[in-house]
A and B are shown apart, each in its own frame.
Chain A
Amino acid sequence: MKKNSEASRPALAKAPTGIRGLDEITFGGLPRGRPTLVCGRAGCGKTLFSIEFLVHGAIEYDEAGVFIAFEETEEDLTKNVASLGYDLADLCRRKKLTIDYIRVERSEIQETGEYDLEGLFVRLGYAIDAIGAKRVVLDTIEAIFSGFSNVNILRAELRRLFRWLKDRGVTAVITAEQGDGTLTRHGLEEYVSDCVILLDHRVREQISTRRLRVVKYRGSSHGTNEYPFLIDEQGLSVLPITSLGLEHKATSERVSTGIESLDQMLGGKGYYRGTSILVSGTAGTGKTSIAAHLVDAACRRGERCVYFSAEESPAQVIRNLRSIGLDLDPWIKKGLLHFDATRPNFHGLEMHLLRIHKLIAEIKPKIAVFDPVSGYLSLGDSLEVRSMITRLLDYLKSRQITSVFNTLVEGGHAELQSEIGVSSLMDTWILLRNLEHNGERNRGLFILKARGIAHSNQIREFIFTDHGVELKDVYVGTEGVLTGSARAAQEAREKAAARLRLEATERKRRELERKRRALEAQILALRAQFENEADEFQKEIAIEKTREQVLEAERVQMARLRLGNGATKAKRERNGKGA
């Protein structure tokens, strides 16, 4: 039953504002047929907000609008928004828009007795009927508080006005000045309670940031955060990040960094596409060069890249990279590489974020480099910067764009502390450090982490050559990590030692050979001697044998001779022995 009623419950009808990003936050726009309060301090963009609401309504949604201006004349308004490409006069001619300037000047008005604001109702009603308006803006209705002194009448009339607007079924935007501690100076939020949007304009360190927040939205869910918004030559746009989702896909495609030895360190295959890479290090450790290698490799694969340079001009970056044999210029000419060099303090954080968004949406790169991202730190506290980078990362990841963030670590800081505290957001963290030893500085590189990659745990020496960056094994021994000339010296020492070792082995081998030969000679001699002895022994045996035979023969002879003469026989036998 309940389910049924839920399913059949009509969604709140909404009137899209056409303001980029806002309709996403409000899931469709402002409540249709109801008044919405837009409040904020002077210069926060209330008027522009309401103009855009009407202009987009007229052009994109075919809903005519009435603009009741209490502060600016038709001419001023028309002029002010002409720079955004809105031709109000044309819209008025086509009966898509009516602007009515209501001037309330207290000095001209004397009050005596009872009155009401029926004149306003009449004008509004007339304007609505004249063009069949569906949208109404009252900018800024509070101006009447300065024109009339009887606040009780005004409050009653305003209450009536908002009810009247609802009855007319127009979608209305009422703007109001923000008061101290209240949303509006005159408490209009009491009357307009369906939807309240707060615009804010903060200046911190001379850099302004605009923010928008949907304070309430009766009968509808809405994003509750403060969303940065931007007013530029295309009007107002709210940062179109409605949620910090973690739903991005993850590919298992691995791509080369352009530095073979670095690929080797990254499990031999390079980095995962669409991940975030943090390259941190102190000044002059080669962060830009690493980033440039990645860009170069991507361009060689025919992928588009965007390089956001915050400290150097494109020409300077390119010139400097030529010194290590990387020429990015052809990629720019081919349209594969797009440079965007903007000083961080040129805009506020949000403006940067928006610009980055726009550029990325326009170029659709595969890899985006931010060199360095630490430059943005001056634009807000670390929380804001972190939030900006989080949103940036989400945006890039959701589009499978690899991001390279270079971050400068100040000398005094702990090396492992990436200054903005974004390291936990990064998938791969390449740390560059200066290794100072033996009166020279050398660059060392190691991979602190690489999610999902069996990466090397070794520190490598990072060397600039005229054909790019090379990584060399460093020596880690009792004397510490050896790099540069110390490494070279160590190499020479090792070579010498190896040669010595080789010679020693050779010597030993020769000696052994000699011994073996001596031994063999001895064996030969012994064998010869033995054979001699054996020969003689054989000869003796043979002689003995002969002698035995001879004796035997003699004995037989004697026995034959002595047949019948025993005494002679024995005598012969003795003689025979004696002979």
Chain B
Amino acid sequence: MSDRDLYLVGLSHKSAPLEIRERVALTGDPLKAALQELTGRDGVGEALVVSTCNRVEVLVHAQGDGAARAFFTDRAADAGGHLYVKQGREAVRHLFRVAASLDSMVVGEQQILGQVKEAYGVACAAGTAGSYLSRLCNRAFATAKRVRTDTDIGRGMTSLSQVAVELVEKIFGDLAGRAVLLVGAGKMGALSAKALAGLGADRILVANRSAERGLALAAQVNGAFRAWEELPHLLVEADVIIVSTGAERYVVTREMVLAAMRVRRHRTFCLIDLSVPRNVEPACATLSDVFAYDVDDLEKVVATTVDARRDEAARAEAMVEAEVQAFTQERRARAALPVLGKLRRHAEDIARAEVERTLAHLGGLDEKGRRSVEAMALAIVNKLLHGPTTRLKKAAASGDTELPSAAASLFGIEVSEPDAPQAAAQPAQGEDPEAKPAGAAPPLPS
């Protein structure tokens, strides 16, 4: 029986186009069924599937990556060429990096940790996450949390609409009781308007030259369409204006804003121009109580965030690497424990059998004599094993796997995986089957 190891097979925004990712993505009950199907395969102990819009990754604690590969090729025959496969330490590192948002499209984004946690929750509910994956995931979560709190990787704004929201929030707090006006049907404008709706805007108004597109856009952003001619009046009604048209000249001029501000009694006014070429006259920004921004202003914020995050990512990678190192060393140390138990039991079995045989030969020995023979046999076992035991423990702690496996083959011991398959089938919450090594017999006094 070959050793089980951790395998990670997956595809992400870096390796596969959306058309393939969407065919293999799974959620809810189908995901549970797929997990159980995975652990139902030969040689698969535990399984976990992380499925988001940017990545689908299958983690298995198994004898090979076959089952995990099949997960993809069964669903999308042409997925094979886009898969990456990682084993052991590499797989651990990959999961840690994903959870810490170092592998994300936008490095440092906040969602991914929650998504991995959810994936782990589903695997627990489906009964496919055993002690190995539990340890692994908890370590990954703790690492991600450390990265988040100890570095600035999650700070700053990474998209134009996010910057727009942040700006508006710093000006108005929230938008309760206020109206957002979307001028033009540009894609960025619609995205930003939607994002701003999250600040609790009362109404979203849409003004567009073409009524047809305007109406469609209004439906899309849950807003009300207003005729283009109403624009001067709308500048009074709305508090935040997002301009995103394809016009070649200024749609909103300083004069228009000045007039509107008089009627508004200088109520604070925020203009965000997402169009190139610009549609809002730059001089608007000089008016008092008017806050005006163009694409360049917003892009600058994004650029500083990206720069800052790049620096922080290096620090985060180092933290992740240290955690991966610690985790794999722990695993190795654990892997040596069964060898020790088996070795001792093996020797004790021999000693016991020889004692029985000797006693049968001798016959008529009194209680004291029998005890002496037994004690002598055990003393030989202990003396003989004392050196190897200490050295094996030392080797295991320092991450050396060769010595334990050499010992196993030297003594002819077959060491099974510490996580028995049944442990994976019914993961006992909070119970650790490894607390006692699988083959440990009650140790003899030494």
Q: Are A and B part of the same complex?
A: no
Which residues of A pack against B, CB within 8 Å?
A: none
Residues of B that sit less than 8 Å from A by CB: none
